[in-house]
Structure 1
Amino acid sequence: MNKKYLTLIIAAAMATVSATAGASGYRFGSQSVSSQGTAEANGAEAADASTIFSNPAGMSRLEGKQLVGGITAVVPHSTYNDEGSRRFTGTSVGGLTSQDDYVPKAVAAPSLYYSQKINDQLTAGFGMFVPYGTNLSYDWNWAGRYALTNIKLTSITLNPSVAWKINEQHSFGFGLNAEYMKATLGQGVDTPGSIAAAQAAGTGTALIRQIVALGGNPAALARVGDAHASVEGKDWGYGFNVGYMFQPMQGTRFGITYRSSIKHKLRGGADWDFSTVTSDAVVNRVIEAASHHEDSAALVELRTPETLSLNGYHEFNDKLAGMFDVTWTRNSRMKNIDIQFLGTDNGDEVIRQQWKNTVRVALGANYKLNEKVMLRAGIAHDEAPVRSDELRHAALPDSDRNQLSFGFNWKVTPKSSFDFAYSYLDFKDARGNYTNNCRPGLLTCTGNGETTRGTWKTHLQLIGMAYNYQF
């Protein structure tokens, strides 16, 4: 069973939102509504206190006390069509061959930022945002159930920060990151395949004798169904981020930002449910004992990817400004994930992931329509960390995507304004052909041995709104 999936997922990322993430991997796609309006191209703009996320050095440009509270709604649409998924025995898994309602219709993620200028050189701030997240809930009878039935990852980061302005050209920023992650995962257990394999190998007779000896009805084996396993885990991890901003001339800025990897030890529990495998409780207990699966604690250790961003901002005139951002993510830290079942004789489950490093490129622009309204727009291309069809798992059917964003800032009073943003993300069709290299019956490892083969098609919309206030 893929308990480690849970860990992989929870380690790789999670979020307070219940939807597929907008950025590659498990990363959530928008930590700032003003940034979303330019497709996250405005790292060097330092438009408001949300610069704490994109580049903490940008706080040195903010006056007084500033507060930004935002919320981003995620409206996903995904479909899956099976193309011949197989059990470890090589036979068809059966079940539903298409899925079109396994993601929520809409969910929302919050963000909150506060900055305060201490003197001409120092500015302090605090950020709270969603770094990662996903929520998938397939039918328990879908063709890929032995890989995954459901997963929900939630996370939130607390990011106290400080910026130091050396002079009009140079400023630095530094922040600490406290990251909380929680995940739950469910998966079918291939009991029918295990029984069929035992009967084919001639070991099914011993199972029948045991059932009879305990007063059960072995005829129930003719109608055996799936068992189900679930796992949950959570952890706090800690890291840092640093930023530098250079202004060679008025209206032109360049920035560089680094956000560190965070180590997590995800601790939780694994639960195996064989109570509905057949209608005979004795048969169910015998099958559960023969499976060698038992409820236990679970542990996975891993590190989230670090990121390095380069960005620029230039004002062409008093109305039009252009900007760019290039972000490199070291996803290669996420190699194979081992889920350990503590206190048992069960071997680890290994999820073959072997992610590759990725690059995201974004271009954006602002146009000052009048004294009250600033228009925003941006485009971006984001690579997926998945290396191949054979390494694309149902928990993250990720693929390269293109993003188109629009937004605007509306100044209500001299000290307050609203930001609105809309983004459309179109994902390349994601074909999966993932095989779990372990199979039922082995004690040296844990897994269903299934092959999940099919294609996911996804697009999603992000709708954000934020309120800005300067004290």
Structure 2
Amino acid sequence: MRINKVAFAITTLLAASQVHASGFQINEHSASGLGRAFAGEAAIGDDAASLARNPALMATFDRAQLSVVGSYVAPDVNITGHNDNNSASDVAPAAVVPAMYYIQPINDEWAFGLAMYSNFGTGTEYADDYVNNAAAGTTHIVTATFNPNISYRINEQFSIGAGVSAIYSTAELKRSIHLSPGLPQMQAAEMEGDGINFSWNVGALYEVNENNRFGISYKHSSKMELEGTYSGRYPGAILPVNDIDGTMENTLPAILELSGYHKLTNQFAVSYSWQYTTWSDFGDIIAYDLNGVEVLKKEENFSNSSRYSIGTEYYATENLTLRVGYAYDEQAAESTLSIPDSDRQWYTAGMTYKATQSLSFDMGAAFIAGKEITFDEDIPLGGTKTFSSKGDAWIYSAQMNYSF
């Protein structure tokens, strides 16, 4: 019997895409951050969207604020086969990545905030007749985070914050076998499921003065436990099975971020960040039936990765801020047809326009250049084949901030 999807208030925040960060990490949390390549995100705190990176930044707000963000990711990922008829183009679909944040100061020391966003999501979709669908096919892994936080200002320089997260996860994997030219492909495996897991996060902010500050934040790893159904080939069965109950478990990695912000003149500031993600925690994608029998396995060789970013801001007028940024994103996974990962470079620009004392708008854009990479993959019933992948992306983001 097919499992019903969990009725969860933030399922509308789900977006399945290859969003061009290491592994399948999502950094598109704000338009203001995108403009500076998300440099200094744990230290700046210029709008409520900063809650996605460091809860201690809430201590810098003296008014309640709501931020609503929408980002459009347009990837261009292509696979070149070094053997005949093994190439595929445009395998990662475009997607919208929404987010929403609210910060409410309680008094001079305490503040409360709520963040709804995603930290992880990936998707690749190959054509139904692609010859290597036994290893490619369709792959979607998506999460949405519901994250209440609280902060406390210890003194004028030092603030701390913490939060808990309910993380809704959903995954879908489809594989088929190409038996002979001219014949339709036969389904080999299909697994889909969802679940809710929990995690926590902490952060701290040190303000040397109003022009110089440093931030640190940490999001703890969390176990992703999915329940759903499996159809396809089954150990010990002569014929394929349909819609048997199954489970899949993986660990979503921890994320550590260190940031700095320095306003060097009245009109110019620089920011920087180092982000470290423990991708080695993730492991392989393995599905089991309710008796513990392995029904599907996809090896994913992940290793821990770093992201380095630097950004600048130019305060052109009281109402207009301009931004540019650069980031280098290390490859986290050995490239495969389902997750064609590589090192990436981000080139970004953006702006903030302050319409009134209470209302402001942000816009940001980024071009992400992926490194071309060559890899070998074992294709079931097809042997070992060699591929090259190249992926670029454009990201466009808009944001509205309103202070109450």
Which structure has the highest strand share of the two? 2
Residues 38-92 of structure 1: CA distance to partner in whole angstroms, max 9, x if unpaired? 10102211111112111110110012110100100001112111113xxxxxxxx
Shift of 1:431: 2.0
Bigger Cα displacement from structure 2, 150-159 vs 362-371 = 150-159
Would the aligned equivalents of 1:124 and 1:161 in 2 still touch at CA under 8 Å? yes
1:384-399 aligned within 5 A: 384-386=331-333, 391-399=334-342
Q: 1:240 to 1:449 in 2, by over 3 A?
A: farther
Residue 375 of structure 2 corresponds to residue 427 of structure 1: no
When the two structures are superposed, what TM-score results if normalisation uses the length of structure 2? 0.90
SS in 2 for 1:98: coil
Aligned to 1:351: 298
Aligned to 2:314: 367
SS in 2 for 1:36: helix
d(CA) in 2 for partners of 1:34, 1:450: 47
Aligned to 1:39: 37
SS in 2 for 1:413: coil
1:226 to 161, 185, 188: 185
Letter in 1 for 2:186: A
Aligned to 2:3: none
Would the aligned equivalents of 1:22 and 1:30 in 2 still touch at CA under 8 Å? no
Q: Any gaps of 5 or more consecutive residues in structure 1? A: 1-14, 85-93, 193-221, 274-287, 440-447
Residue 278 of structure 2 corresponds to residue 298 of structure 1: no
Would the aligned equivalents of 1:175 and 1:241 in 2 still touch at CA under 8 Å? yes
Would the aligned equivalents of 1:82 and 1:143 in 2 still touch at CA under 8 Å? no
When the two structures are superposed, what TM-score results if normalisation uses the length of structure 1? 0.78
Letter in 1 for 2:107: N
Residues 389-420 of structure 1: CA distance to partner in whole angstroms, max 9, x if unpaired? xx432110100000011000000011110000
Would the aligned equivalents of 2:31 and 2:398 in 1 still touch at CA under 8 Å? yes
Residue 113 of structure 2 corresponds to residue 114 of structure 1: no
Residues 289-308 of structure 1: CA distance to partner in whole angstroms, max 9, x if unpaired? 63565542221222110011
Residue 386 of structure 2 corresponds to residue 467 of structure 1: no
Aligned to 1:457: 390
d(CA) in 1 for partners of 2:316, 2:23: 36
d(CA) in 2 for partners of 1:248, 1:29: 27
Residue 227 of structure 2 corresponds to residue 239 of structure 1: no
Letter in 2 for 1:376: R
1:151-166 aligned within 5 A: 151-166=139-154
1:314 to 256, 259, 262: 262
Give RMSD over aligned pairs.
2.3
Would the aligned equivalents of 2:132 and 2:178 in 1 still touch at CA under 8 Å? no
Q: 1:66 to 1:149 in 2, by over 3 A?
A: same
Shift of 1:171: 0.1
Residues 84-124 of structure 1: CA distance to partner in whole angstroms, max 9, x if unpaired? 3xxxxxxxxx7x432223232x3211110000110000011
d(CA) in 1 for partners of 2:210, 2:122: 41
d(CA) in 2 for partners of 1:63, 1:127: 18
Residue 346 of structure 2 corresponds to residue 403 of structure 1: yes
Q: 1:364 to 1:182 in 2, by over 3 A?
A: same
Q: Any gaps of 5 or more consecutive residues in structure 2? A: 1-12
d(CA) in 2 for partners of 1:327, 1:175: 19
Shift of 1:341: 2.9
Would the aligned equivalents of 2:285 and 2:300 in 1 still touch at CA under 8 Å? yes
Aligned to 1:102: 91
d(CA) in 2 for partners of 1:360, 1:64: 32
d(CA) in 2 for partners of 1:156, 1:460: 22
Q: 1:406 to 1:454 in 2, by over 3 A?
A: same
SS in 1 for 2:33: helix
d(CA) in 1 for partners of 2:402, 2:67: 7
d(CA) in 2 for partners of 1:415, 1:62: 13
Letter in 1 for 2:364: A
SS in 1 for 2:208: strand
SS in 1 for 2:191: strand
Number of corresponding residues: 389
Residues 164-217 of structure 1: CA distance to partner in whole angstroms, max 9, x if unpaired? 00111100010111110112221113556xxxxxxxxxxxxxxxxxxxxxxxxx
d(CA) in 2 for partners of 1:158, 1:71: 17
Bigger Cα displacement from structure 2, 349-358 vs 248-257 = 349-358
Which 4+ stretches in 1 moved above 4 angstroms? 222-225, 291-295
d(CA) in 1 for partners of 2:371, 2:138: 23
SS in 2 for 1:60: helix
| Larger CA Rg, structure 1 vs 2 | 1
Residue 358 of structure 2 corresponds to residue 415 of structure 1: yes
Residues 246-298 of structure 1: CA distance to partner in whole angstroms, max 9, x if unpaired? 0122310001100010112111111239xxxxxxxxxxxxxx96356554222
Would the aligned equivalents of 2:70 and 2:99 in 1 still touch at CA under 8 Å? yes
Would the aligned equivalents of 1:147 and 1:450 in 2 still touch at CA under 8 Å? no
Letter in 2 for 1:227: M
Question: Sequence identity of aligned pairs in percent?
Answer: 28
Aligned to 2:220: 260
Aligned to 2:329: 382
Would the aligned equivalents of 1:243 and 1:257 in 2 still touch at CA under 8 Å? yes
d(CA) in 1 for partners of 2:229, 2:378: 25
Letter in 1 for 2:133: R
Residue 208 of structure 2 corresponds to residue 248 of structure 1: yes
Would the aligned equivalents of 1:121 and 1:166 in 2 still touch at CA under 8 Å? yes
Which structure has the highest helix share of the two? 1
